[in-house]
Amino acid sequence: MQAMVFDLDGTVIDTMDDLVALTNQVLDEFNMPRHSKAEIQSYVGNGALALMLQAVPPGTPEDITSAALTRWKELNPQFDQLSRPYPGIPETLEKLRRAGVRIALLSNKFDYGVQVMVNAKLPNVFEVARGERPDTPRKPDPTGLSNIFHQLEADPACCAYVGDSPGDIQVAKNAGCLAVGVSWGYRSVEDLAQAGADVIIERAEQLLDLAETR
């Protein structure tokens, strides 16, 4: 295994409580109905715009939705107090690095939000950490993942992408690497299996076995 690239929300860091608080704060400011944790969790995975399009009431004018999204991004850096790395993730990432596996991160979260969260919760861990930006379209487009493999000088056939959503599985397939699903994220194991995951793990430490046997 030359490199492992990870999704962020729902894979290495549990951000859901902060995402719920943030989204409902924005909805409050725009006098819109709040949503439950389960509802907001179902909106997560395809970037902030997709989340907000589902969070605002049906029929909300485009300019209002855009303003709500802008406010969501403005407030995002303030909502990180409840977010934590999943059990075993920091230790496992460090062991992978010591074993010579290159470690990177690719998320559909907007890039500034990725940098803030990673620097606050898992600093100095990832060689590359990238979110959505003009040169990095959202997953499952393989452009961002392929660019990371190129930057790390890694052969996709000897790499893995690790995530918690069908989109994560699909981007791995599109980029030609091992598709690893995690059972602890925001989507079900059934969703990951139906998406075609090569492996679904239940504990972070299982990544060490994949690195040794791949």
The answer for 100, left when phi > 0, alpha when psi is -120 to 50, beta otherwise, is: left
Average per-residue pLDDT for the chain? 95
Give me the pLDDT at residue 46, please. Answer: 81
Q: d(Cα 205, Cα 214) in Å, to the nearest integer?
A: 15
As a whole number of Å, the CA-based R_g of the chain is 17
* Residues contacting 206, CB < 8 A, separation 6+: none
Helix (H) or strand (E) holding 65: helix 62-75
Q: Answer with the residue of higher pLDDT: 49 or 47.
A: 49
Which amino acid makes up residue 150? H
Q: Which amino acid is at 63?
A: D
Q: Per-residue pLDDT for 205 more than 80?
A: yes
Give tens-digit pLDDT for 26-43: 999 999 999 999 999 999
* Coil, strand or helix at 182: strand
Q: Does 213 score more than 80 pLDDT?
A: no
Q: Which residues pair with 163 in a beta bridge?
A: 181
Q: Which amino acid is at 87?
A: P
Cβ contact 131:112 at 8 Å: yes
Question: Is pLDDT above 60 for 214?
Answer: no
Phi, psi angle pair for 136, to nearest 5°: -135, 85
d(CA 94, CA 68): 38
pLDDT band at residue 136 under the 50/70/90 scheme: confident
What does the pLDDT read at residue 100? 95
Pairing of strands 199-201, 178-182: parallel
186 pLDDT exceeds 60?
yes
